[in-house]
């Protein structure tokens, strides 16, 4: 509902007509909420499916390039748009700095990660090859199904609420 604030106010205005009116039907308000929860549930399900596909892709990349399994977490974080630092990788993976440096250099060489900055300020973000993997997964994204496709048009026709 947070991303549909204008529609939220419109459904309130259409349902209540500006004041508490217990004789008015709350059906549109109920359907608006059911729609929001239905779409949110679809979105969460889609995210889980996409995450599963990403992890499968990471497993394939790890096997294909002989990488350590521990890099999968870093690839996932990068695929979500997070940036990583070597010190964080060392701590999370429980490895030595030399090992982390070697892993990150290999991931950069494979264009799975991209190094940004120098020395102490250096961090790593999604590389071009990892971006391709993410795009391949997202290109097969399940569309969201609106359980009440008529609602947006009806709300757009409703009077603009006074706030």
Predicted local distance difference test score (pLDDT) of residue 5: 79
Q: What is the CATH number of the domain that holds 55?
A: 1.10.10.10
Q: Is residue 71 part of a domain?
A: yes
Judged against a pLDDT cut of 60, whether residue 163 lies above it is answered with no
Query: If you average pLDDT over residues 69-92, what whole number do you get?
Result: 96
Spatial contact of 67 and 73, defined as CB atoms under 8 Å apart: no
Predicted local distance difference test score (pLDDT) of residue 7: 83
- Look at the chain and report how many structural domains it folds into: 1
Q: What is the pLDDT of residues 121-153, one digit of tens each?
A: 899 999 999 999 999 999 999 899 999 999 888
The residue range of the domain holding 82 is: 2-157
> How far is 110 from 19, CA to CA, in rounded Å?
62
Predicted local distance difference test score (pLDDT) of residue 128: 97
Q: How many CB atoms lie within 10 A of CB 57?
A: 19
Say how many Å lie between the first and final Cα of the chain, rounded: 17
Q: Is residue 141 part of a domain?
A: yes
Q: Is this prediction's pTM over 0.85?
A: no
Predicted local distance difference test score (pLDDT) of residue 2: 63
> How far is 83 from 110, CA to CA, in rounded Å?
17
Q: Is residue 34 part of a domain?
A: yes
Query: If you average pLDDT over residues 80-100, what whole number do you get?
Result: 96
Spatial contact of 61 and 112, defined as CB atoms under 8 Å apart: yes
Q: Is residue 97 part of a domain?
A: yes
Query: If you average pLDDT over residues 64-79, what whole number do you get?
Result: 97
Query: If you average pLDDT over residues 2-6, what whole number do you get?
Result: 73
Q: Is residue 163 part of a domain?
A: no
Q: Is residue 144 part of a domain?
A: yes
DSSP assignment string, the chain: -GGGHHHHHHHHHHHHTTS--TTS--HHHHHHHHHHHHHHHHHHHHHHHHHHHHHHHHHHHHHHHT--TTHHHHHHHHHTT--B-HHHHHHHHT--HHHHHHHHHHHHHTTSEEEESSGGG-EEEE-HHHHHHHHHHHTTPPPP--S-TTHHHHHHHSPPPP-
Question: In the predicted model, what is the mean pLDDT of the chain?
Answer: 91
Predicted local distance difference test score (pLDDT) of residue 65: 97
Q: Is residue 76 part of a domain?
A: yes
Q: Is residue 111 part of a domain?
A: yes
């Amino acid at each position: 509902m947070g991303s549909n604030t204008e529609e939220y106010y419109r459904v309130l205005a259409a349902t209540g007509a500006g004041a508490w009116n217990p004789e008015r039907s709350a059906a549109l308000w109920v359907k608006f909420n059911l729609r929001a929860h239905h779409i949110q549930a679809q979105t969460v399900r889609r995210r889980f499916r996409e995450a599963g596909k990403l992890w499968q892709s990471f497993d394939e990349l790890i096997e294909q390039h002989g990488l350590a399994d521990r890099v999968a977490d870093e690839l996932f974080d990068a695929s979500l748009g997070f940036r990583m630092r070597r010190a964080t990788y060392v701590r999370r993976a429980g490895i030595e700095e030399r090992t982390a440096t070697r892993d990150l250099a290999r991931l950069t060489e494979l264009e799975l990660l991209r190094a940004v900055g120098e020395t102490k300020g250096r961090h790593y973000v999604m590389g071009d090859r990892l971006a391709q993997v993410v795009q391949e997964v997202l290109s097969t994204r399940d569309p969201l199904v609106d359980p009440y496709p008529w609602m947006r048009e009806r709300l757009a026709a409703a009077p603009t609420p006074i706030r």
